[in-house]
């Protein structure tokens, strides 16, 4: 069987499963999700064993420490996966909701009702927890999912998806066996074949580095929801509280530096740079962060910092590296972000409410925080239970994507023998 035949068979099974999903009630879907969580929790030891094999593969591929961190599963992260599934089970069903209702003079009654998208392809690197998060969200929203993880996480992804399918089938005889599937071949040449099947695949969501996302977008014939980079900026305003500035910047950069909502650029108002930048930079340096600074910032921080080059302002490091720039107040910060930002997440640190509101209004990003770490740009923190990804697109989903973002709608019309004149 060649790639085209293999991917067509996979997609056809998913399409059939997506149609069968409509037969499951909300209660049945929730019971399946809880059973999946229970199974993952009960088999955490097996998952850790599989993950240790993946870590060895990652080390042999010379992955960076931050990427190995994204790949690693421990008991805490596995419990996070199970809690995510349970949280999704407790959320309202996003399908079957009446979004709009009207009665026309002709006698036609109309309802705009939310419904599943259909078949979603999820392409991602490392982070095997994405397998459970995305499969759980797609299942609750009535979608079939085809998962394509990186080869470095193949053992973890396989066991997690198998546990979820087996648990679902035991929980309900209506559970479609092929509503959660994994692309078995690691060969990248299979992806263009899969993403050409517009008659079966409704949406693709890539999640990973810019190279992966651009490659998927360029080869796909099905719609793609994406964000290319997570160049997240934190701006320290003249009216910032020093303690908050230190706490928020350190957390934004060092909590998990290898993820897309980590701070990559620190901006600080020229008027307070001499006062606030030293304690902030000291805190970052103490955590092992490499600082790449403009000339003004470098003159304040001193020899432990490096001089930035032009490319630094457009770089997503995904590591303990941060670019630092002194700007001319809020106007300078806005100009920098709207020029170099990726539209992901930004934060202003200030006690000046008008300045904060202006920043939030004028920054063109999917999420804009005030006195809050960029690490909160996350579906779980937004109360979505989990997230399938973050979109910086402006049409359709934007920001963290949860259940509601995995639905579309259709119009239901009723009449009593209506015929148009």
Whether residue 207 is found in the same domain as residue 256:
no
Residues 322, 264 contacting (CB under 8 angstroms) = yes
Run of H or E including 273: helix 273-286
Which pLDDT value is given to residue 396? 83
Quick check: is 199 in a domain?
yes
CATH at residue 368: 3.40.309.10
Whether residue 284 is found in the same domain as residue 204:
no
Name the nearest CA neighbour of 370 among 378, 383, 361, 379.
361
Mean pLDDT, each 10-residue run in order, the chain (421 residues): 92 98 97 98 97 95 86 95 94 97 97 98 92 96 97 96 98 97 92 96 91 92 91 98 98 93 98 97 97 97 93 95 98 97 97 98 97 94 84 90 95 95 85
**Among candidate residues 226, 241, 271, the one where a domain is terminated:** 226
Give the phi and the psi of residue 126 in degrees, each rounded to 5: 45, -140
Quick check: is 200 in a domain?
yes
Name the nearest CA neighbour of 268 among 288, 299, 290, 296.
296
Which pLDDT value is given to residue 350? 98
Which pLDDT value is given to residue 259? 87
**Among candidate residues 226, 257, 285, the one where a domain is terminated:** 226
Global pTM reads 0.87
Residues 305, 291 contacting (CB under 8 angstroms) = yes
Whether residue 215 is found in the same domain as residue 236:
no
Which pLDDT value is given to residue 421? 85
240 contact partners, CB below 8 Å, separation of at least 6: 269, 272, 276, 349, 350, 351
Q: What is d(CA 22, CA 18) in angstroms, rounded to the nearest whole number?
A: 7
Strands (DSSP E) found in 149-231: 180-182, 203-207
Cα separations (Å) of 171 from 24, 39, 146, 164, 381?
12, 11, 21, 10, 29
Quick check: is 417 in a domain?
no
Whether residue 222 is found in the same domain as residue 316:
no
Which pLDDT value is given to residue 228? 86
Q: Which residues pair with 323 in a beta bridge?
A: 265, 292
Whether residue 114 is found in the same domain as residue 157:
yes
3-class DSSP state of 295: helix
Which pLDDT value is given to residue 167? 98
Dihedral of the alpha carbons of 56, 57, 60, 66, in degrees to the nearest 10: -80
Domain of residue 239: give its range.
Answer: 232-376
Quick check: is 35 in a domain?
yes
Which pLDDT value is given to residue 214? 92
**Structural domain tally of the chain?**
2
Which pLDDT value is given to residue 1? 75
């Amino acid at each position: 069987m060649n790639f085209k035949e293999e991917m067509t068979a996979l997609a056809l099974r998913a399409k059939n499963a997506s149609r069968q999903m409509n037969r499951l009630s909300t209660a049945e879907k929730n019971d399946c999700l809880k059973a999946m969580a229970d199974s993952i929790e009960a088999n955490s030891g097996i998952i850790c064993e599989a993950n240790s094999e993946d870590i060895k593969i990652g080390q042999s591929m010379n992955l960076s420490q931050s990427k190995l961190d994204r790949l690693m599963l421990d008991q805490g992260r596995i419990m996070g996966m199970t809690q995510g599934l349970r949280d999704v089970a407790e959320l309202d069903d996003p399908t079957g909701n009446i979004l709009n209702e009207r009665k026309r003079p002709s006698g036609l009654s109309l309802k705009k009702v939310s419904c599943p998208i259909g078949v979603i392809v999820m392409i991602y690197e490392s982070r095997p927890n994405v397998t459970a998060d995305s499969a759980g969200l797609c299942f609750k929203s009535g979608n079939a999912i085809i998962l394509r993880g990186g080869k470095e996480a193949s053992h973890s992804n396989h066991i997690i998806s198998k546990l979820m399918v087996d648990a679902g089938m035991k929980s309900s005889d209506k559970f479609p066996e092929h509503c959660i599937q994994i692309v078995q071949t690691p060969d990248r040449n299979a992806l263009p074949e899969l993403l050409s099947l517009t008659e079966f695949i409704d949406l693709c969501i890539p999640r990973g580095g810019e190279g992966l996302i651009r490659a998927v977008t360029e080869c796909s014939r099905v719609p793609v929801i994406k964000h290319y980079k997570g160049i997240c900026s934190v701006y320290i305003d003249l009216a910032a509280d020093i303690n908050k500035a230190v706490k928020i910047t350190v957390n934004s950069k060092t909590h998990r530096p290898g993820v897309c909502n980590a701070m990559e650029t620190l901006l600080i108002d020229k008027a307070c740079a001499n006062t606030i930048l030293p304690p902030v930079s000291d805190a970052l340096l103490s955590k092992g962060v490499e600082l790449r600074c403009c000339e003004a910032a470098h003159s304040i921080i001193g020899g432990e910092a490096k001089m930035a080059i032009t490319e630094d302002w457009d770089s997503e490091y995904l590591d303990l590296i941060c670019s630092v720039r002194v700007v001319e107040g809020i106007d300078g910060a806005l100009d920098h972000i709207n020029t170099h930002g990726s539209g992901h997440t930004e934060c202003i640190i200030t006690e000046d409410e008008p300045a904060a509101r202006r920043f939030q209004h004028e920054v063109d990003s999917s999420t804009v925080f005030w006195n809050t770490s960029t690490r909160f740009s996350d579906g779980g923190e937004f109360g979505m239970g989990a997230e399938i990804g973050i979109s910086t697109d402006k049409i359709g989903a934007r920001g963290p994507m949860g259940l509601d973002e995995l639905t579309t709608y259709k119009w239901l019309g009723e009449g009593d023998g209506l015929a148009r004149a």
